[in-house]
Amino acid sequence: MEISKSYIINFKGYNFSSHVDMDLLENIENFETRDDDVFIITYPKSGTVWAQQLLSLIYFEEHRNGTENLETIYRVPFFEYSRYQIDIENRPSPRLFASHIPYYLAPKNLKNKKTKVIYIYRNPKDVLVSYFYFSNWVKVHEPTDTIEHYMEKFLDGKVVGSLWFDHIRGWYEHKHDFNILFMMYEDMKKDLRSSVLKMCSFLQKELSEEDMDAVVNQATFENMKSLPQANYTNIIKSQVGMRHQDGHFMRKGTIGDWKHHLTVEQSERFDRIFQRKMKGVPLEFIWD
């Protein structure tokens, strides 16, 4: 299936959205990381904004106690996309980033194994469904008429982020090159507090019980959905643009929504490809 080239820029074999910062991409491998930078890495629709909100809450007291009225995206800017005039080079440490880059485009410095990387993954059937709705809603992605057609694109890697299997496999198989923690969306959903504890332990951040309560409470789906700063509503309205008014970035936030969208045949076809492509990758998955 062909994709409209105008939505996607392919750089070194990986599909970026066409509003990517090309200057940055050209120099991405030489980007000077700091030892105390933290990178959230995800395939799209796997819990990026959730992790951005969590890191903002963990690192910034003002964010936690609500004394700042700042979009989460300013606290944890996207690495390869618009940084909204944030002066990254002069930003005080710790700098926090979110990114969808594949392992082979990571800044070389990340391999010093000091800079921390948190890789969040989600079961790919839910990623597919989330991405289908998102792409039909926001103008920067190519819309698709049916789930069947979207599944063809997704399984051909003809979407921003390229092939899901390559993204996760690449990062997993090169995990020894990085100081990386793998976290699963479904674990976060089932037990957010334990996931935050795990994150904090990796980040070497110790929070009081009270602060931990504040982090967990402000990162629930319901609370993030009602907080425009945490859920991209402002940015999507003012800068990204929508095709219709019925969409939400915080759409459902559940595990297993794919069951309401994929037929048995589609699901089985997906499973067969999953078995083949994920052979030898021992990561755990939760499907419902």
Residues that are catalytic: 100
| 93, two tokens | 């440490």
Output the smallest distance, CB 109 to ligand PPS, in A: 24
Output the smallest distance, CB 115 to ligand PPS, in A: 21
The smaller minimum CB distance to ligand PPS, of residues 217 and 220, is found at 220
Interface residue list for ligand PPS (CB under 6 A): 42, 44-50, 126, 130, 133, 189, 219-221, 224, 250-253, 257
Q: What is the 3-state secondary structure (H, E, C) of 164-226?
A: HHHHHHHHHHCHHHCEEEEEEHHHHHHCHHHHHHHHHHHHCCCCCHHHHHHHHHHCCHHHHHC
The dihedral through the CA atoms of 193, 38, 159, 175 has a sign that is: negative
Beta bridge pairs of residue 181: 118
* Residue for token pair 């194994």: 113
Output the smallest distance, CB 137 to ligand PPS, in A: 10
The smaller minimum CB distance to ligand PPS, of residues 80 and 126, is found at 126
Output the smallest distance, CB 276 to ligand PPS, in A: 25
The smaller minimum CB distance to ligand PPS, of residues 251 and 259, is found at 251
**CA angle 122–128–129, rounded 5-degree value:** 105
